[in-house]
Structure 1
Amino acid sequence: MSASPVLTATDLTVSYGDREVVHGISFDIAEGETLALVGESGSGKSTTAHALLGLLPEGGRVDAGRVLLGELDISGWSDRALRSIRGPEIGLVPQDPATSLDPVRPVGVQVEEILRLHGHRDRRSRRARAIELLDRVGIDDPGLRARQYPHELSGGMRQRVLIATAVALRPRLLIADEPTSALDATVQRTVLDLLDELQREEGTSILLVTHDLGVAADRAARLVVLKDGRIVEQGASDAVLAVPREPYTRQLLADAPAFATGFRRPDAPPFLRDAAAVAAENPYAIVAEGLVKEFRVAGRERFRAVDDVSFRVRRGTTHALVGESGSGKTTTARLVTRFHRPDAGSIEVAGADVTAATGAPLRAMRRRIQLVYQNPFASLDPRQHVVDIVAEPLQNFRVGGRAERRERALALLDRVALPADVARRTPRELSGGQRQRVAIARALAIDPEIVVLDEAVSALDVTVQARILELLTSLQAELGLTYLFISHDLAVVRRISHTVSVMRRGRVVEEGRTEELFHDPQHEYTRELLAAVPGVGDAPQSREVLA
């Protein structure tokens, strides 16, 4: 490379206890370059990034290898010595702002902290610099925001606060560890654009850690692909994406939502192919008409979260509600499942009006419609064994005896492709993908007609996500299930849905068949969501899918 490396890692080996998890990794990052470490969970990418800074969790250690910061060998430095380069030389943008920011201190004070730790003694100048940094990363009214607490900011704003902290001392290298994985697509694009802008203006090098090849394709000049703690492929992004040499890289490419190669999209059901079938029957599983839901906010006027929303979902199909956080899609899903009661409008489920249902009619409706949440770890009882979690709905509805319920739960675990020994484990012993399969098995326990999936794959790596989408498609074909699929990610929606409603600020701004909406979006907001899909601009495969 023509530019000299800002950082070089040579034969880096990392262990946790007796288990080696990173096996002799070598790479370098040039001045002003963006390099992406790509791989699924457990590939060693975050461990590698944290090892560079001496920030491994308890029990982790670097066993071998060298790390050069420019010409300076920082291998084996103590934590105290490494503190002198964290901030001024290397900045870190962690993945989750919810856990990385102190909930009991204003965000401005937290940005000031790194300045104080590195010798900025004057409180007034620190405060001014913190506000300047918040403004620099595009936070509106930075003086006000500096006095607010993390919970008062959106996810995108919290991530910007972390970026402001990471760039406060103008480091030569910025390590961004999954910096946008928890964000909506449009917010994700804005944050990544910000990193690009900072790089251009400051000449900062960026090590981008991500599981998504679409993000890497958009933002990195070079890729290093990791699997099981080893580099399986590396090179220029264009070359790796155009002709991936290794099967694992090809699988990551196939699983990336924007590229969608190697995934068989759901067949259009007969009613979408045959207009006569529509006239011959009235096969609606869900009918929502004119839904309105308002919430009272302390000190403010009532907030209308859902505003005159209508849609229909035919039996055996998948209808997606798409939009950013705050668009009203999750509130709409909770109205359909009657966890909220609408202030206006009507809801029919499987032909029955459940708008005002209570007691026995509401309980009967709950047998027909089940909900799968975004975070399977939070929605599964950590104290129960998996077999008991799956059998719980059967117990609640007094279906069968104990032995019969256990047999049914074991059969469901097999149906969602989980090994038999999972039944005896607890949720904390499972991977994220396994936990979500358990949640799906539980939702199917009482043979519902409809399953509502609320961001059910957004917390998963793209590879695991692809397997769950394949599972949902096969279950729908086998069981005739109807899905209401809630998502902020249009690329994922493209893989699984037959029809779509695009929501913004509580209203439906566009709806229609998935293929038609993706081929010719009519509303500017829909076009904006499509443009925010990572990888669309650079990957030839993505243009075929999303054009």
Structure 2
Amino acid sequence: MTVNAPTGGTVLTAADLRVSYAGREVVHGVSFELNEGETLALVGESGSGKSTTAHAILGLLPEGGRVDAGSVRLGDLDVSGWSDRALRGIRGPIVGLVPQDPVTSLDPVRPIGAQVEEILRLHGHRDRRRRRARVLELLDRVGIDDPDLRARQYPHELSGGMRQRVLIATAIALRPRVLIADEPTSALDATVQRRVLDLLDELRREEGTGILLVTHDLGVAADRAQQLVVLKDGAIVEQGASADVLAAPSDAYTRQLLADAPAFVTGFRRPEAPPFLRDAAAVAAEDPYAIVAEGLVKEFRVKRRESFRAVDDVSFRVRRGTTHALVGESGSGKTTTARLITRFQRADAGTIRLDGEDVTGVSGEGLRALRRRIQLVYQNPFASLDPRQQVADIVAEPLQNFRVGSKAERRERALALIDRVALPADLARRTPRELSGGQRQRVAIARALAIDPEILVLDEAVSALDVTVQARILELLASLQAELGLTYLFISHDLAVVRRISHTVSVMRRGRIVEEGATEELFRDPQHDYTRELLAAVPGRAAERTAEPAAALTAALTGRALS
């Protein structure tokens, strides 16, 4: 079936779109228009209906989903009610899709060139030589270096950013007038995210492509979209020009999304001067540092005798009761450093002191005792909790492992911790699969607190969460720190989140710390080119409001760029 692409004006119209699953309506009368050369962002939390709306347009709803009412028009062409076979004719030539996860979207056993070429073959491009040339042209167009080599490689041999570019190359192969990008950068580092979004912007400007951008991140939408549609519980609560919506949101939900988005936070955490700075006697009597790392080195063997240095002469100090962030892109060494601090891995060189005690070489019972003092909260609450256990048993497990209290006392302690992390008591009998992502992460935090640790290491602990859930978890962490005097080592690739939670920062690149200091100082006056690049990549900074200058932190909490 031959379908003519829409030309000029409006390229996509959704009118009163209603979608249901198993008879339950989940999208309620959604309407919007996307113009040629424009980006329209569908914004909302998980479950808001934004991805369902996008998939309904393409006729790609999962089993049980159906469009009950409304219409979808591509230019002047009404595709409402088309069969799946008919819709296949427009997927690619008229509408392209960039899915969220390149890991699951790419075939791991086929070279990427063959995967990009497939869409050309399926849509009637018979000449194999021309298909091959078009693949190389597309890979070059999306900024992949050495296309001839990359076309022969497999997905696992490419970085996350490169894999996402492959998906974009596939989506634009047939020069569609509409591109639907479903959370295309949510799993990427800030600098890689910026490059991918820059590429989409280029396509919009140069090709006149209309882009429907599905995102939970208002910072991304603010930077990239000309129009915003805000969804909540399957219904539109606000829509309009991005500048107007951001400047004067009319709906309370939009205002909440703006307040929770890390990109729009303008203040900094300013810890009170600890006792040792207020009292000369205390200065002499106690070590102010909960964590001191000096000259840490960690190498891994790869390909026979070659070695890769993941951590290279890393040193930093964390004052008791404060939050120190290790920031960097994937592969910078921040997670390996965290695993050295927690002693899940042994450093090849350097020393680690916790509250003045050298724990670099502890083993056996000494290492077991260390586990009571320092606990780790993982990135993925879906994978770090036992799906078969009830929440109360998960939280109480560390107490059982360390033989603390009787069974009744452990359960009482677990219930108290569940309450402390602001979860309802009836969740204690549920399993993780019955909880939301934010609730699961609260359970993980409660479990980490069970044996009264002094230090929590949080490894990308909020990166998998929506911005509103993320904001609530960060508020919880701040309140627990104030109540319990906890020290946090916060691992993140997201400087916007770091700004919200940390007092001090170390920026890591290729296994080394390139800059460190107080968070406020680093944001206001970065000294290293790489730090400036990371800050420039933070979504929403173009719309960031200027905060009033704050009082300087104490000299003891500041640092400067390192060579």
1:133 equivalent in alignment to 2:138: yes
Secondary structure of the residue that 1:389 maps to in structure 2? helix
The yes-or-no answer on 1:38 pairing with 2:43 is yes
Note the C-alpha offset of 1:405: 1.3
- Give the match for residue 116 of structure 2: 111
Q: TM-score, normalised by structure 2?
A: 0.93
Following superposition, the deviation at residue 269 of structure 1 comes to 2.8
Residue deviations 1:388-414 (CA, integer Å, cap 9, x gap): 111111111111122221111111111
Is the CA contact (8 Å cut-off) linking 1:536 and 1:542 kept in structure 2? no
Cα distance in 2 for residues equivalent to 1:363 and 1:526 = 37
Quote the residue 1:475 is aligned against.
480
Cα distance in 2, alignment partners of residues 199 and 301 from structure 1 = 44
| CA positional deviation for 1:271 | 3.8
Query: Which residue, out of 478, 492, 499, partners 1:494?
Result: 499
The residue aligned with 1:238 is: 243
| 1:174 matches 2:182 | no
User: Superposition RMSD on alpha carbons, in Å?
Assistant: 1.8
Secondary structure, aligned partner of 1:292: strand
CA distance 1:517–1:265, change in 2 (3 Å): closer
Match runs of 1:45-444 below 5 Å:
45-260=50-265, 266-271=269-274, 274=277, 279-280=283-284, 281-299=286-304, 301-444=306-449
Relative to structure 1, the CA distance from residue 17 to residue 523 in structure 2 (aligned partners, 3 Å threshold; closer, same or farther) is same
Instruction: State the alpha-carbon separation in 1 of the partners of residues 340 and 462 from structure 2.
Output: 21
Mean alpha-carbon deviation: is it higher for 125-134 or for 404-413? 125-134
How many residues are matched? 542
CA–CA distance in structure 1, aligned partners of residues 103 and 464 of structure 2: 14
Q: Return the offset for 1:317.
A: 0.5
Q: 1:520 is matched with which residue? A: 525
- Aligned partners of 1:496, 1:71: CA distance in 2, in Å? 49
What percentage of residue pairs aligned between the two structures are identical?
A: 82
* Range with bigger deviation, 79-88 or 401-410: 401-410
Structure-2 separation of matches of 1:542 and 1:218: 19
1: CA distance, partners of 2:533 / 2:450: 39
For the 8 Å contact 1:67–1:74, the answer to whether it is kept is yes
Distance across 1 between alignment mates of 2:543 and 2:423: 36
The amino acid of 2:111's aligned partner reads P
* Partner secondary structure for residue 537 of structure 1: helix
Query: Hey, what's the Cα distance between the residues in 1 that align with 2:373 and 2:138?
Result: 52
The whole-number CA distance in structure 2 between the counterparts of 1:468 and 1:95 is: 24
SS in 2 for 1:163: helix
Tell me if structure 2 keeps the 8 A contact 1:537–1:543. Answer: no
- Could you tell me which runs of 5 or more consecutive residues in structure 1 were left unpaired when the two chains were aligned: none
1: CA distance, partners of 2:158 / 2:8: 39
Q: CA deviation at 1:499?
A: 0.7
Answer yes or no: is 1:535 the counterpart of 2:535: no
TM-aligned CA deviation for residue 154 of structure 1: 0.9
Q: Classify 1:311/1:495 alpha carbon distance in 2 versus 1 (closer, same or farther; 3 Å).
A: same
Compute the displacement of 1:38 (Å): 0.6
2:86 and 2:348 map into 1 onto residues whose CA distance is 60
Structure 1 pair 541/247, CA: closer, same or farther in 2 (3 Å)? farther
Per the alignment, in what secondary structure is the counterpart of residue 258 of structure 1? helix
CA contact (8 A) 1:7 1:29 kept: yes
Select the residue among 22, 26, 38 that pairs with 2:27.
22
Any conservation in 1 of the 2:268–2:519 contact (CA below 8 Å)?
Answer: no
SS of 1:223's partner is strand
Indicate how the Cα distance of structure 1 residues 300 and 138 shifts in structure 2: closer, same or farther if over 3 A, else same. Answer: farther
| Runs of 5+ unmatched residues, structure 2 | 1-6, 551-563
Residues in 2 aligned to 1:542 and 1:534: alpha-carbon distance in whole angstroms: 17
Measured in 2, the distance between the counterparts of 1:84 and 1:544 equals 57
Residue 541 of structure 1, CA deviation = 5.5
Give the distance between the partners of 1:18 and 1:362, measured in 2 at CA.
Answer: 55
The AA in structure 2 aligned to 1:193 is D
Distance in 2 between the 1:478 and 1:315 partners? 14
Q: Which secondary structure does the structure 2 equivalent of 1:43 belong to? A: coil
Deviations 1:87-117 (A, max 9, x none): 0000000111111111121111111111111
Q: Does the Cα contact within 8 Å between 1:349 and 1:365 map onto a contact in 2?
A: no
Q: Deviation of residue 3 (structure 1)?
A: 6.1
Q: 218-227 or 98-107: which moved more?
A: 98-107
Correspondence for 1:11 among 1, 7, 16: 16
Given the superposition, is the C-alpha separation of residues 91 and 542 from structure 1 closer, same or farther in structure 2, using an over 3 Å criterion?
Answer: farther
Pick closer, same or farther for the CA change 1:125–1:317 going to 2, 3 Å: same
Paired with 1:84 and 1:300, the residues of 2 have a C-alpha distance of 52
Distance 1:132 1:300, change over 3 A: farther
Measured after TM superposition, the shift of residue 201 of structure 1 is 1.6
Q: Is the 2:398–2:447 Cα contact (8 Å) retained in structure 1?
A: yes
TM-score, normalised with respect to structure 1: 0.96
Residue 451 (1) aligns with residue 478 (2):
no
**Is 1:14–1:20's contact at 8 Å kept on the other side of the alignment?**
yes
Shift of 1:430: 1.2
Q: Any idea what SS the aligned residue of 1:371 has?
A: strand
Letter in 2 for 1:332: T
Deviations 1:192-217 (A, max 9, x none): 00111111121100001111111001
Q: Quick check: 2:37–2:210 contact (8 Å CA) kept in 1?
A: yes
- The C-alpha deviation readout for 1:412-457, integer Å capped at 9, x for no partner, is 1111111122222221221111111111111111110000000001
* Local SS of the residue matching 1:311: strand
Letter in 1 for 2:185: T
Deviations 1:527-547 (A, max 9, x none): 1111111111134358989xx
Q: 1:276 to 1:402 in 2, by over 3 A?
A: closer
Distance of 1:483 and 1:539 partners within structure 2: 27
Provide the C-alpha distance between the structure 2 equivalents of 1:87 and 1:272, rounded to a whole number of angstroms. 64
Q: Secondary structure at the match of 2:66?
A: strand
- Which stretch of structure 1 is more off in the superposition, 394-403 or 296-305? 296-305
1:55-88 C-alpha deviation (Å, 9 max, x unpaired): 1111111110000111111011111111100000
Q: Partner letter of residue 4 of structure 1? A: G
**How much has 1:128 moved relative to structure 2?**
2.3
Distance, in Å, in 1 between the alignment partners of 2:265 and 2:276 is: 23
Q: Which amino acid aligns with 1:494?
A: R
